[in-house]
Every structure is written in structure tokens, then in C-alpha cells.
Structure 1
Amino acid sequence: MNGFTFSPALGWVAGGLLAGLLAIMAVAEIVLFIRRRRAFASDETVWACVRRTLMLLLAAVMMLTPSQVTTTTSRAVNATDVIVAVDVTGSMAVADAHYGSDDTVTRIDAARQAVHDLTQTYANASFAAIRFGASGTLDVPLTPDSAAIDNWADTLAVESTGVSAGSSLDTPIDQLLLTAKAIREAHPDDAIVLYLISDGEQTSTKTRRTFSSLRRYLDDGFTVGVGSAEGGRIPVITDGANAGNTDSNDSWITDPDTGQPGISKMDAGNLEDIADEISGSYVALDATHTVSDAVSSKVSNDWRVTTTAKERTRVAAVVWPLAIALALLLAFEIGAWITTSRRLL
């Protein structure tokens, strides 16, 4: 729905004060004209009074910046597509991670913060979101709506340890291939960047498949490591509703070989290998490094227009008709002043 509104370019405080001052001046012009006319103390004509009053009123309205409100589903986006894949296996609940500070957080919390930073870093890009644990799932298809990705990150939860059959880093490969291929076919000129966020732990006895098949679709890629080399105990997650939830006895996953709580350690080597396979880079998140240190140099400089299901409101200033009217009145005023000046000579 279209409509008109006021949206002062200087803000409501400054714009409102200036508009009020100009309106007072317009009233003062009329009052002074009437008083001088009664006292025969001025040769100002009615047309001159009207002209000057109108100029002041037009300027007052312009200070309030009349605007037209329109809704649209089209949006210009940068031709960069960011695929975010986040590990949600049970080891991501280990509280041994840091993200740009000395505060210790769970690995999944660090992953959430990383996703939020990515949507800020690539503010005008499109995103696709994948989570992987026992399987790989495309949760958010490619969209320019970064808020949807932020909401997705906020709801990320570690899967229940009861469904885990050992961490396998190659779980997301099939879904990543399908997603990257679909994006490349739909937008062949876009730059596609992958961020795979994980602790790099591989506990499955199966040999990990290579990620090299993704190279043909990616322009750049990063593996992002969360956790520490020292590692930490893995809590028992009963429902996956919250990464920090353990059962009422604060139980921990037990190492069957020792009978003691198992220790999960971030495996930087695996993540470095995957980064090499996709011709990308590895970055570790810690107290001094965040995902902002892993910004791709291959971001596209092109833009394209896309249509989204979500309507957005856009406010466009409509000041030019008033500016034209004010310019004409000023021209009349200057002409009258020149004519009067010549007569006085």
C-alpha cells in the first residue's frame, strides 16, 4: 500500500524546530503586513506578502521532508552467495571454546556467534544454511534475508547423543554438493563462498570422503575450527533442545576403554586437510580470532535484483515539487526586488 508521510532528513527534533521557526516567520510576515498596511507605513503589496508567506511555508514543509511510502518484494543484492555449514554433533556441546575473548563458551555457542558475524560481514549477500550431525540437512535455502540466517543460528541445537553413531566429517558433502550445484546453475556468475564450522573431530571408523568434489562449484572456502586442543568432557544431551543441557546428574559421555569421561579435542589437522581439499583456508576461533579474520577476497563486485516473499517498506523523499515551486517564487521575488531597485534610482 502506497501513502505519504513525513520523514525529516535532519531528524524530528532538528527538522521540527526549523519547520516551526519558519511557520512562525510566515505568521509574523502576515501580521506585520496587516499592521503596516493599516498604518500606511509600507508599500508592500498583497502579492508580495502572499509570495513571501508561501516561500516560508514551503521551506517549513520541506524541513519535514514529505515522503512516499511504498512496499516492494524486489531487492538489489550483491552477487555473492555464502553457504554456512555448522556441525551439531554431541561434541559441539563441550565448553572449551573462545570467541574473541577469554570467556569460555560451548563450541555451538561459538558457532552461533560466528554465523552472526558472517551475516554482518556479508551484509548484502545471499545465504544458505546447512547443519550436519548424523545427517546433513539444508535448513535455509539460498536467501538474501540475513535475518533468517540469524534466527536459524539462534535455534541451532546439538543433537541428542543418543542418536550419534560417531562423528563423521564427510556427512555434509552430499548436501553441500546439491546446494552448491543448484546455486551455480541458478546464478552462474555469482561468487560462492563456503564456511564449514566444526571441531574437526572424526570418531567414525569409516574413512572420510574427500571434499575436493566441491571445488568445481566454489570460488572460495573456509574451515572454521571451534574448541581447543586440550579439549573437554562431552555432556550427555538427552533432547538436543539446548547445547548446554545435560541430565539432572550432570552425566558425561564415558570412554569405553577407560571407563572415565571421554575427552573431545578439536582436530585442527582434519580441518586443515578439508580446507586444502576445497582450495580454501583454515581459521581457528579463539580468544583473539573471530570469523571476521576469514573474509573472502573473492567477493563479487556485481549486483543483481532478486524477488523475495517478504515485503519491505521503502520511504522515498518527494521534495522536488516543493523545490520547483520555491525556486519560482524566489525568481519572482528577485525580479520584484530588481524592479523596485531601478525605480528608486
Structure 2
Amino acid sequence: MSEMTVSRVLRNRGDVSEKTRARVVAAAKRLGYVPNKIAGALASNRVNLVAVIVPSLSNLVFPEMLAGVDEVLADTPLQPVVGTTNYDPEKEERTLFEMLSWRPSGVIIAGLEHTEASRAMLAGCGVPVVEVMDVDGQPVDAAVGISHWRGGYEVGTEIVARGYRQVAVLGTSMEGDHRARKRIEGLERALHEAGTPPPEHITYAGWSGFAKGREMTAAVLERRPATDFLFYTNDLTGAGGLLYALEQGFDVGDGLGLAGFGSFSLLDGLPRKLATVDSRRRETGQVAARIVAGMHVFEGDDRHVEFAPSFLPGDTMRPRRA
């Protein structure tokens, strides 16, 4: 077997029979051989990596989006490499700089809000850039996800349609979580248009979880006992609030309504099914990966791919009024 044939197999180039390819791959595995992709990239100026940058891996929102990316790229030569930012725009800037220095073949990055330097790097990197999980803004290249403002607005209209009046919003205090902010803004607009009093606000620092939801729920109900609806900006805090309300004997649904955001299947075993909004995370990752891999065709000049957020009433809200 010639050196050229071995080189073709290891670089995945040229026509080589499947039998020959299998022999070369088997020999490489026995020897522990790993090709030098950096050397191979010198000619093309790119490596087969896709930079995927998200705020966190501990928040269940982002691993599900990443699963969608991986499902599509598994059938291509491209490999996702993940970096996290902790919702810190300066850290995002540093992470983006380092990942772009490897000359990836594409970038998938959460959100539309970035520092001026990050936007400049994204605009000048020369590869497909897909901003995911949000479409409320102008992308550098392409955007895929839902409108979080619209999702919040839909929750607000459902709250009003089901007769609730004294609303509280329980969410994160992290300034970098722009998607949570947009949900709240959409909800507040719907309440305002219906003449419902402005909602009470309570926030938490750090990462979301059941404990944060329980703490905030106890605090807001003690501070404003007349509250009849609690909107949590994510399902994890909502689940903690639901468990607290049930333990304390509240009439969940009819007397006290609750809703979260995100539609996490992990929470399907709760005593009541929490009202929520499906943010279409896996589909977002799948479409973003297709764009990076050159497999997606846009309709016209609009490079937004917007999914409709689906409201799911669950068992924690009254029926709609006739």
C-alpha cells in the first residue's frame, strides 16, 4: 500500500476503496496514530472544528441545544468544541478570541448581545456565524431560536385570560441574561395592555435551581399575600416554587397560578405539571448546525430562523374564561 493511499485515507481525501480504508484505519488505531490537523489546516487555513459558545453547561437549557448541534454534525467531518462564558461579556470576548485563533470552520454562539470587540471578531472571522436561542435583534450573520419577548407576552396574555390579577415575577438578577429580561418585558407589556397592575419583582443571584425557587416563593408570598400568580423565568425555579406551594397547602391552579419557562422533560415527574413555554432548544441546535455545515437554505434575504414558542398550560393554571 502506497504512502499516498495512506495519506488520502487519513486526510479523508480522494477515492479509496472501503476495504483499503478499513485496513488503514485499523492500522492507525493499533499504532495510536492521531493526524496533525494543524499542519493539514495550513493549506486550507481552517480546521474541522465548530466553536460553540454558551453561558453555562449547568443550566439545562444549553446542553439540549448542544445535543441538537451534535446530532447534525455527527454526519459531517465537523466537530463541535464548547466554551462557556458565565453570562460575562468580557469572558465571552476572551473565549471567542481563543477559539477563533484555532481557525474553526464555523461559530455557534448564544444570544445576540455581545461587546463591540466580540461583534467585530464575529463579523470578520470569515466563516458561518449563527447566534442561537434568540431572534429579537440583528444578527452578525444568522440567528436561530425563538423570540423570548413573544414567549413572555404569550404567558402574560394567558395569565389575563385565566382571570389572575396580582402577578409576581421571580427571576435572575444576572445582567447578562438578556433572554430572561426579554421574557419579563413581553409579559409586562401584555399585563399593561390588559390593565392589570404592574407585577411585583423578586430576584436571585447565582444559578437557578429548586432551592432558589422555594426561597423566592416564600419571600414574595410573605411580602405580598394577595399574589395570585407567580411567573418564574425558568422551569427549575418554578419547580421549586411549585413544591413549596403544595407543601404549604396553597390551592395551586385555581387559587394560586404558576408558570415557568423552558419545558424541561426532567420535571415530568412533579406532582403537578408546571405551566411553561417550549423554547425549541434541540431544533435550534439542529438548524444552527445545518447552517454551519452548509446544509440549510434560507428563504430570501432574511437570515433569521424563528420558531414559535409553544405555551403549555399544564396543571398549574385555571381554565381560560369563556
TM-score of the alignment, normalized to the shorter chain, above 0.5: no
Task: Compare the two structures and name the one with the higher strand fraction.
Answer: 1
Structure number with larger C-alpha Rg: 1
TM-score by length of 2: 0.30
Structure with the greater relative contact order (CA < 8 A, sep ≥ 6): 1 or 2? 1
TM-score by length of 1: 0.29
